[in-house]
């Protein structure tokens, strides 16, 4: 059921509103959609007058919002007629608002006569339960789910004798997000080939993740954490162990990416001056006496001038090997 009431005002437009009701109400006027920033932690401003409907979008990721806090600054001319204007706040506004004259419908969240004060506040929780409390200058609305945004603000005359100065007054709105001290992190594990490991696949059981020393699950979702620095480690019998330090920012989501690496073994070698060492056909002389190899069978070849000797080397994970080329002088007596 929709209720419709036409209220004459001193100048210009008509704004159609109804007495306080749980039913959808119609609102007609010059619509202005406020430009909200992308970051959930940023505030933004909007303007409204008696001839306008100002639309307040929800900005950023609603997971990181406890609510919104509106500061309404009342111009001096409007304070000369206290209670002459009514402040209306609506949720579930439809159709999609545009910057033009429109007839909208919405569910009323709040109505109050404009107080005789330089400013007042409205707190809008985004979920129940919440800890917000009303005070002498702060009004708390029922909780509004993120999907019930955008909101609509309208100013309507509720008494006769509105002065021209009041009718022309511009009211400033400051919209502040109420952001708890939390953020989120998405853990991504990739195979040595660069493919993302599916948390439901068998590969995910071949490693264990530790966050600040506590074992955590590798899942599709994100971890919601308090802001700060964290240390995450990956342990595996099949792959190299890894450790990373990352930061969680208030109101932001980050990514932490691990790429699984085959475990390496350390190879140390010694050879006379002038000798060349090749592993699997590639020279390793520039490694300055030490390099790493993945597990498996490898071919090691030393070459000194025209003389060459090769051996097969079976490398096991996380072990150290010493390769030496010795040139001995053999003297025999007949």
Return the closest-CA partner of residue 106 out of 68, 67, 71, 56: 56
pLDDT tier for residue 84 given thresholds of 50, 70 and 90: confident
pLDDT for res 9? 37
- Lowest average pLDDT, out of 92-96, 270-274, 285-289, 319-323, goes to 285-289
Do 32 and 68 belong to one domain? Answer: yes
The reply to whether 331 falls in a domain is: no
For residue 311, the domain's CATH number is 2.60.40.10
Last residue of a domain, one of 259, 291, 312: 259
The reply to whether 333 falls in a domain is: no
Provide the number of structural domains found in the chain: 3
Do 252 and 270 belong to one domain? Answer: no
The reply to whether 329 falls in a domain is: no
List pLDDT tens digits, range 210-255: 999 999 999 989 999 999 999 999 998 888 899 999 999 999 999 9
pLDDT for res 327? 62
What average pLDDT score do residues 109-116 get?
Answer: 92
Render 93-124 in DSSP notation, one character per residue: EES---SSEEEEEEEEEEEEEPPSSSEEEEEE
Residue with tokens 């999907």: 147
pLDDT tier for residue 304 given thresholds of 50, 70 and 90: confident
Cα–Cα dist 257/217, whole Å:
15
Sheet with 44-48, edge to edge strand ranges: 44-48, 171-178, 67-73, 119-125, 138-140
**Mean pLDDT, the chain, whole residue set:** 86
pTM (two decimals): 0.71
pLDDT for res 331? 54
Last residue of a domain, one of 146, 161, 178: 178
List pLDDT tens digits, range 159-206: 888 888 888 899 999 999 999 999 999 999 999 889 999 998 876 678
The reply to whether 21 falls in a domain is: yes
Residue 305's domain comprises 265-324
């Amino acid at each position: 059921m929709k209720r419709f009431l036409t209220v004459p005002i001193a100048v210009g437009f008509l704004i159609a509103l109804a007495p306080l009701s749980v039913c959808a109400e119609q609102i007609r006027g010059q619509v202005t959609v406020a430009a909200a920033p992308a970051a959930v932690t940023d505030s933004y401003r909007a303007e409204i007058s008696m001839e306008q409907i100002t639309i307040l979008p929800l900005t950023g990721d609603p997971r990181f919002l406890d609510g919104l806090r509106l500061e309404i600054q009342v111009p001096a001319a409007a304070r000369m007629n206290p209670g002459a204007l009514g402040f209306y706040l609506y949720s579930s506004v439809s159709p999609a608002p545009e910057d033009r004259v429109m007839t909208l419908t919405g569910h009323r969240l709040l109505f109050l006569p404009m107080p005789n004060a330089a400013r007042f506040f409205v707190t809008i929780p985004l979920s129940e339960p919440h800890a917000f409390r009303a005070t002498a200058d702060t009004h708390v609305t029922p909780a509004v789910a993120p999907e019930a945004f955008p909101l609509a603000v309208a100013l309507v005359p509720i008494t006769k004798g509105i002065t021209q100065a009041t009718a022309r007054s511009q009211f400033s709105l400051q919209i502040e997000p109420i952001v708890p001290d939390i953020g989120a992190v998405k853990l991504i594990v990739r195979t040595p080939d660069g493919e993302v490991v599916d948390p439901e696949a068998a590969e995910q059981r071949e490693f264990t993740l530790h966050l600040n020393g506590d074992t955590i699950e590798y899942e599709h979702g994100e971890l919601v954490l308090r802001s700060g620095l964290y240390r995450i480690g990956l342990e595996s019998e099949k792959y190299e162990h890894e450790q990373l330090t990352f930061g969680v920012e208030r109101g932001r989501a980050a990514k932490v990416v691990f790429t699984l690496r085959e475990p390496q073994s350390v190879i140390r070698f010694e050879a006379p001056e002038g000798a060349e060492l090749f592993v699997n056909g590639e020279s390793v002389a520039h490694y300055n006496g030490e390099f790493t190899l993945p597990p498996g069978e490898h071919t090691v070849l030393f070459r000194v001038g025209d003389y060459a000797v090769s051996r097969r080397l079976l490398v096991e994970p996380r072990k150290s090997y010493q390769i030496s080329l010795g040139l001995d002088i053999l003297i025999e007596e007949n």
